[in-house]
Structure 1
Amino acid sequence: MQNTQLVISQFSDSIREATEIIERPIPKLEDHEVLIQNKFIGINALYDRELYRGRVPYIDVKFPYVFGVETVGVVVEIGKNVKSVKTGQALSTVKVGTAYQEYQIITEAEVIKIPEATPEYLTLNPTGVSAYLALNNTAELKDGETIVVSAASGGLGHIVVQLSKRKNCHVVAICGNPKKVELLKSLNACDRIINYREEDIAKVLSEEYPNKIDVGFDSVGTYMFDAFLANLAPLGRLVVSGLATELTAPKFEQINRSRVYESIYWKGASVRCFMNHLFREQQQKGREYLFDLYRKGALQVKVDPSSFEGIASIVNASEYLLAGKSCGKVVVKM
């Protein structure tokens, strides 16, 4: 049986130049391995771009390199010693260098069971889990605090604002167009929505939230980071969950000013960075919590309504996400 894959075949700034679609035979399963037919694939365009540019220092990209991180699918075959998984069962996979293909093989130890192979469960794991872990561990968000969230209508952001509101927090959500504003309004979780194309973020925060931001949750960087930093409350925490504006630039911005501690020392504030894999032991607890909320109808999961289908559409989906057009999680149907 053949497996269709999107692979990196050379380094380039363009996903179209860097990648190609190939077919390779599916290897014979080892005794403790599971073969999954992918049903939906999550798009992580910024991380992908660093990969096909050759700028991820801990990944040794050998051509042809299958990339992508997250999928949901169903089991089509199991190794003879696999005990905990059955054919037809829905699974989630989260593993660098595995997602952008029709089929994938994982070990039984890597199995993540889910109720259904749907885009919603793909959004909850790992993106929703990242929101849960970042708020609990890195942000240390407390009941009644004020949190400001950049890219709030995205796959991560729309979960962050809802989990924050469950802690009775004052939630300030930032997005970039009227369609995204409407998505955020539909969540019933945001106390203030800022469309940065119509309002100046730094001005709004300095006038409405001066020294009042308990948690800044930022995946954008540069001007957003600066605006959050300037308005941190005493003991405030600025959580960096991404660097979107820096990663879209040819190189990181070089700045000439006082070091960051000059602006936070007297407040006892801090700047922290979140990485999902550093909290691996808590991921299952996060999944159980989020799945339960979703089943009860207490958590909305927003998947971008644009239609992307098949391996070839991954490139289009990536460019769509990088263009800032997404509302919710961007997913490709296989």
Structure 2
Amino acid sequence: MRNKQLVISKFSDDIKDASEIITSPIRMLGDNEILVQNKYIGINALYDRELYRGRVPYIDVQFPYIFGVEAVGVVVETGKNVEKVNVGDALSTVKVGTAYQEYQIISDNDAIKIPEATAEYLTINPTGVSGYLALKNTAELKEGETIVVSAASGGLGHIVVQLAKRKNCHVVGICGKPEKVELLKKLNVCDRIINYREEDIADVLNNEYANKINVGFDSVGSYMFDAFLANIAPLGRLVVSGLATELTAAQFEQITGPRVYESIYWKGASVRCFMNHLFREQQQEGREFLFDLYQKGALQVKVDATSFEGIESIVNASEYLLAGQSCGKVVVKI
């Protein structure tokens, strides 16, 4: 049996130049290993971009390097000591350097059983789990607070706004296209929706939410970060969950001005950063909570409607996401 994989073959600013598709034989399983046939893989274009540029400091990229983080699939073979899963079981896999391939071999310790291998469960784990953990641990979101969420119609954002509303918060969702506005309207959890292509973010927040933002949840950075910071409430928390505008630029913007503490010191406010892997011990709790909500119909999970199929389509899916076209989680069907 052979395995088709998308790998990084050299560092470059262009995914087409940095990557290639290779076909490799699948090795024999160890006693405690599982062979999984991937059914859907999740696209994390910004993180991938930093990888194929060689700019992720904690990853030692050795060529050829299989990239991708999350997938869902089914078990097709198990090692002789594996007892927790059986052939045919649906699994979620979350590990850097594993997803962009047709098959993967995992340790039985890394097996996460899910009810079925669908794009929705791929969206929940790990993207939805990230939202849950970020709101709980980093944002420390409290009942009835005001939260402003950038990229609110994306894979992460559309989960965050729903979880925030479950705490009876005043939820402000920011997005940039009419289709994304409609997605947020259908979720029916945002008290205010801002289309940044039609309204100026800074003006809206300055006029309607001056010093009222208890939690700013930002994955965009740059001008969005500045607008959130300017309107953070006393004891407010500005959570950085991504740096989309900076990571798509040739280099980080160089700022000359007062240090950030001058903006937040007298408010007792804080700027915090969220990284999913720092909360590994709580990820099962997050999965169980979100799986239960989804199965009860209390959580809407939105997968982008654009169809991408096969390893060959990963590059197109990545470029689509980087272009800001997505509504919901972007996935590739294998």
Q: TM-score, normalised by structure 2?
A: 1.00
Partner residue in 2 for 1:65 = 65
1:213 equivalent in alignment to 2:213: yes
Kindly state the Cα deviation for residue 38 of structure 1 after the two structures are TM-superposed. 0.1
CA displacement at 1:302 relative to structure 2: 0.1
Q: Distance in 2 between matches of 1:318 and 1:109?
A: 30
2:51 counterpart of 1:17:
no
Does the alignment pair 1:301 with 2:301? yes
Q: Which residue of 2 aligns with 1:322?
A: 322
1:10-58 Cα distance to aligned partner (Å, 9 max, x none)? 1111111111111000010000000000000000000000011111111
Q: Distance in 2 between matches of 1:264 and 1:195?
A: 27
**Aligned pairs for 1:169-318 within 5 A:** 169-318=169-318
Matched, 1:8 2:8: yes
Cα shift readout 1:119-171 (whole Å, capped 9, x = no counterpart): 00000000000000000000000000000000000000000000000000000
2:94 match: 94
**Unaligned runs of at least 5 residues, structure 1:** none
Give the number of equivalent residue pairs: 334
CA RMSD in angstroms comes to: 0.4
Alpha-carbon distance in 2 for matches of 1:176, 1:27: 46
2:145 paired with 1:148: no
CA distance in 1, matches of 2:202, 2:21: 44
Distance 1:290 1:13 in 2: 36
AA aligned to 2:134 is A
Alpha-carbon distance between aligned partners in 2 of 1:19 and 1:275, rounded to the nearest angstrom: 26
In the alignment, the residues of structure 2 paired with residue 67 and residue 281 of structure 1 have an alpha-carbon distance, to the nearest angstrom, of 24
Which stretch has the larger CA shift, 86-95 or 55-64?
A: 55-64
| Percentage of pairs with the same residue | 82
Q: Secondary structure at the match of 1:272?
A: strand
Displacement after TM superposition at 1:326 (Å): 0.1
* 1:267-326 C-alpha deviation (Å, 9 max, x unpaired): 000000000011111100100000000001000000000000000000000000000000
Partner of 1:167: 167
| Unmatched 5+ stretches in structure 2 | none
Classify the secondary structure of the residue corresponding to 2:86: coil
Give how far 1:60 is off: 1.2
| Equivalent-residue separation in structure 2 for 1:134 and 1:66 (angstroms) | 27
Q: Distance in 1 between matches of 2:95 and 2:285?
A: 19
Q: Distance in 2 between matches of 1:14 and 1:277?
A: 27
| Cα distance between partner residues in 1 of 2:314 and 2:307 | 11
1:263 Cα offset (Å): 0.6
Q: Which amino acid aligns with 1:233?
A: A
Q: Distance in 2 between matches of 1:238 and 1:197?
A: 23
Shift, 1:62, TM fit: 1.0
Could you tell me which amino acid in structure 2 is paired with residue 146 of structure 1? Answer: T
SS at structure 2 position matched to 1:155:
coil
| Residue 53 of structure 1: aligned partner | 53
Structure 2 residue identity aligned to 1:5: Q
Separation in structure 2 between the aligned mates of residue 187 and residue 33 of structure 1, nearest angstrom = 40
Distance in 2, Cα, partners of 1:208 & 1:107: 51
Q: How far has the Cα of 1:65 moved from its partner?
A: 0.7
Distance 1:271 1:308 in 2: 37
Instruction: Tell me the distance in 2 between the aligned counterparts of 1:202 and 1:222.
Output: 12
Extract structure 1 runs of 4+ deviating beyond 2 A.
none
Aligned-pair CA distance for 1:101: 0.2
Secondary structure in 2 aligned to 1:82?
coil
Q: CA deviation at 1:59?
A: 1.1
Listed as ranges, the matches of 1:28-39 within 5 Å are 28-39=28-39
Distance in 2 between the 1:192 and 1:138 partners? 23
Letter in 1 for 2:276: N
List per-residue Cα deviations over 1:182-225 (Å, max 9, x = no partner). Answer: 00000010000000000000000000000000000000001000
